[in-house]
């Protein structure tokens, strides 16, 4: 193995990976104080890299590019570094050893994956994110979470196996492991697309997210909701930009999650449906595939990490102080948790309101749909934007903070570390919303989109005002959310798979026992007769000649071989 152009410094993301492993061995007070340091070092380290490939290694005749920064990978690397910083601050409220280590390694592996220039390097980081994120589902070692974590890990490993198999097939078909634009002409592209689809929570492949994310701790959910699915969005944009079949997939994700999320009682599960809904926006933009659409997908990934992370943080604080995130058990927390309520309000407005980042990124996606001569798709995106504002915004804000108080105990506000992390995300939402040119410049393309025109701003304000009015009228009349309940989804089927497997195993064991008893019952008379007539001097033995015995043995052996090889 020869080395070419190996940098004298470590690849991006490794300050987080090494920092997570080192901090795990420190006392908890020192660990809490040093938690943000690896993320800060990772951001400073990322600044030292220029655009282009680096760390190229020749292995078995293949050139592996361990790192690559360009117009697509750079925004995701910086986004993940920022998310690691805010997540580290959030973790400081309860710095459990395994969560700190797993969270930092998870973030570092995600940065390494978006910087990988070949499929083998991508696979290694892909699997490292799976292992590290699964550890976040074991908070405090509670036995009740083991099944969730194992099912989550199995799904993630299956995605990695498909990616590895597709990479090997891609090498056989093209002779290269470079991670660039892929096609579905061969089997390799289908395997790799399926691996990406699992982590992107495509329809019928999304059950793992619905089950696992709400089962994690408050900090674990914040981290899980950031890296895995956005890494899949990056991979789809890199490998399958312009694949038209992604457009209907994204539309189904938007519509299905709205129906499910509006009926869900658990607010963290509701927010996971909102996360998948917004992934649908990004997947539609990737399917359109124009330069504007790809820039819009990246911009929306940035804004979504900010406002979705802020909402997950707010609900995590609610869970910490009240022990529940069920809408039917909450209410009136605005007075008891004013800081958390304020940040939750900012996260809700950050989805689509002017002066917030979500308004800028969603406007770009709608503009990309119209530029591609798909006005119907643009209308679906607008309806989806209104729906997510109600489902993952007002539906969380009202029952938890503004509804009728349902708890008599006095609740304190979020800890200082949680408030600091929420403030950082809120500032990012506001800065990129007020100065969208900073967001557009970070995408590498010189986007010239007139965002803050009077007509556009007034139209969006009118849509949001109408949404609030409809929500208020339905709530006032008692028509909704009166029927909210825990709704079934694929995660319920996932949880039944081990039960079904156990039932099948028990049934097969019972069949085996009954079969054994039947054979014994049939053979018992013969064995008794042989025992009665047995012995060297018995009539049965005296009547058997050596040739007859050899013949019957040959017949039995032939029958056995015939059955064995049939």
Q: Is residue 17 part of a domain?
A: no
- The 3-state DSSP class for residue 501 equals helix
Whole-model pTM above 0.75? yes
User: 3-state DSSP: the chain helix, strand, coil percent, rounded to 5?
Assistant: 75, 5, 25
**Domain containing 383: what range?**
241-491
The pLDDT, as a whole number, for residue 10 is: 77
Dist CA 279 CA 396 (whole Å)? 19
Range in 23-27, 240-244, 315-319 with the lowest mean pLDDT? 23-27
The pLDDT, as a whole number, for residue 533 is: 52
Whether the pLDDT of residue 513 is over 80: the answer is no
Cβ neighbors of 396 (< 8 A, separation 6 or more) are 267, 270, 271, 311, 315, 344, 348
CA dihedral (281, 273, 108, 62) in degrees, to 10, reads -60
Whether the pLDDT of residue 540 is over 60: the answer is no
Q: Is residue 454 part of a domain?
A: yes
Let me know: does 278 contact 308? Beta carbons within 8 Å: yes
Over residues 265-301, the pLDDT tens digits come to: 899 999 999 999 999 999 999 999 999 999 999 999 9
Q: What number of other Cβ atoms are within 10 A of residue 161's Cβ?
A: 14
Residues in the chain: 566
Q: What is the DSSP letter of 3?
A: E
Q: Is residue 478 part of a domain?
A: yes
Q: What number of other Cβ atoms are within 10 A of residue 505's Cβ?
A: 10
Dist CA 77 CA 43 (whole Å)? 9
Q: Is residue 396 part of a domain?
A: yes
Q: Which one is predicted more confidently, 432 or 474?
A: 432
Dist CA 333 CA 340 (whole Å)? 9
Structural domain total, the chain: 1
Burial level of 120, CB count in 10 A (0-12/13-18/19+)?
buried
Distances (CA, A) of 396 to 217, 330, 389, 473: 19, 10, 10, 17
Query: Using only C-alpha atoms, what is the Rg of the chain?
Result: 29
Cβ neighbors of 371 (< 8 A, separation 6 or more) are 290, 292
Cβ neighbors of 440 (< 8 A, separation 6 or more) are 295, 299, 446, 447, 449
Range in 111-125, 246-260, 474-488, 502-516 with the lowest mean pLDDT? 502-516
Q: Is residue 63 part of a domain?
A: no
Q: Is residue 546 part of a domain?
A: no
For residues 306-318, give the mean pLDDT: 95
Q: Is residue 457 part of a domain?
A: yes
Q: Is residue 538 part of a domain?
A: no
Over residues 401-437, the pLDDT tens digits come to: 987 776 666 678 999 999 999 999 999 999 999 988 8
The pLDDT, as a whole number, for residue 471 is: 86
The pLDDT, as a whole number, for residue 529 is: 55
Pick from 262, 268, 338, 340: nearest CA to 308: 268
């Amino acid at each position: 193995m020869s080395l070419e152009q190996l940098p004298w410094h470590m690849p991006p993301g490794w300050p987080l990976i090494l920092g997570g492993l080192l901090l795990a061995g420190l006392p908890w007070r020192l660990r809490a104080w040093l938690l943000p340091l690896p993320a800060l070092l990772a951001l400073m380290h990322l600044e030292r890299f220029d655009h282009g490939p680096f760390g190229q290694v020749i292995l078995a005749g293949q050139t592996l590019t361990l790192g690559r920064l360009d117009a697509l990978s750079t925004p995701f690397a910086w986004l993940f570094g920022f998310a690691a910083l805010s997540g580290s601050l959030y973790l400081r409220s309860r710095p459990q050893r395994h969560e700190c280590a797993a969270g930092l390694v998870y973030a570092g592996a995600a940065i390494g994956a978006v910087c990988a220039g070949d499929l083998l390097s991508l696979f290694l980081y892909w699997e490292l994110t799976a292992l590290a994120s699964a550890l976040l589902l074991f908070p405090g070692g509670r036995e009740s979470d083991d099944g969730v974590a194992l099912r989550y890990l199995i799904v993630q490993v299956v995605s990695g196996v498909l990616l590895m198999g597709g990479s090997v097939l891609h090498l056989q078909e093209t002779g290269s492991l470079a991670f660039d634009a892929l096609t579905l002409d061969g089997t390799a592209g289908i395997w790799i697309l399926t691996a990406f689809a699992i982590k992107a929570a495509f329809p019928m492949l999304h059950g793992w997210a619905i089950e696992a994310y709400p089962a994690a701790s408050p900090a674990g959910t914040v981290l899980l909701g950031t890296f895995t699915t956005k890494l899949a969005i990056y991979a789809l944009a890199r490998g399958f930009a312009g694949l038209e079949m992604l457009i209907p997939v994204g539309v189904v994700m938007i519509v299905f999650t709205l129906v499910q999320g509006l009926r869900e009682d658990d607010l963290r599960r509701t927010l996971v449906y909102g996360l998948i809904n917004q992934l649908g926006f990004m997947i539609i933009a990737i399917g359109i595939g124009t330069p504007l659409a790809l820039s819009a997908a990246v911009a929306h990934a940035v804004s979504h990490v900010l406002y979705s992370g802020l909402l997950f943080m707010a609900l995590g604080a609610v869970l910490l102080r009240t022990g529940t995130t069920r809408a039917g058990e909450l209410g009136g927390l605005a007075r008891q948790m004013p800081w958390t309520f304020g940040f939750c309000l900012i996260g809700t407005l950050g989805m689509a309101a002017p002066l917030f980042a979500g308004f800028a990124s969603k406007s770009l996606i709608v503009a990309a749909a119209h530029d591609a001569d798909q006005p119907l798709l643009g209308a679906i995106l607008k309806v989806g934007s209104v729906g997510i504002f109600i489902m993952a915004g007002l539906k969380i804000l009202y029952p938890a903070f503004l509804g009728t108080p349902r708890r008599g105990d006095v609740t304190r506000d979020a800890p200082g570390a949680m408030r600091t992390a929420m403030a950082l995300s809120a500032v990012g939402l506001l800065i990129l919303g007020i100065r969208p040119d900073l967001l557009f410049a970070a995408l590498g393309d010189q986007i010239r989109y007139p965002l803050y025109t009077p007509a556009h701003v007034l139209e969006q304000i009118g849509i949001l005002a109408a949404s609030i009015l409809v929500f208020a009228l339905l709530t006032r009349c008692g028509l909704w959310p009166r029927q909210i309940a825990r709704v079934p989804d694929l995660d319920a089927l996932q949880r039944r798979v081990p039960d079904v497997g156990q039932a099948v195993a028990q049934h097969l064991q019972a069949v085996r026992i009954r079969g054994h008893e039947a054979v014994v019952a049939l053979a018992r008379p013969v064995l008794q007769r042989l025992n009665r007539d047995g012995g060297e001097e018995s009539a049965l033995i005296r009547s058997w000649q050596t040739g007859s015995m050899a013949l019957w043995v040959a017949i039995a052996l032939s029958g056995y071989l015939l059955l064995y090889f049939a």
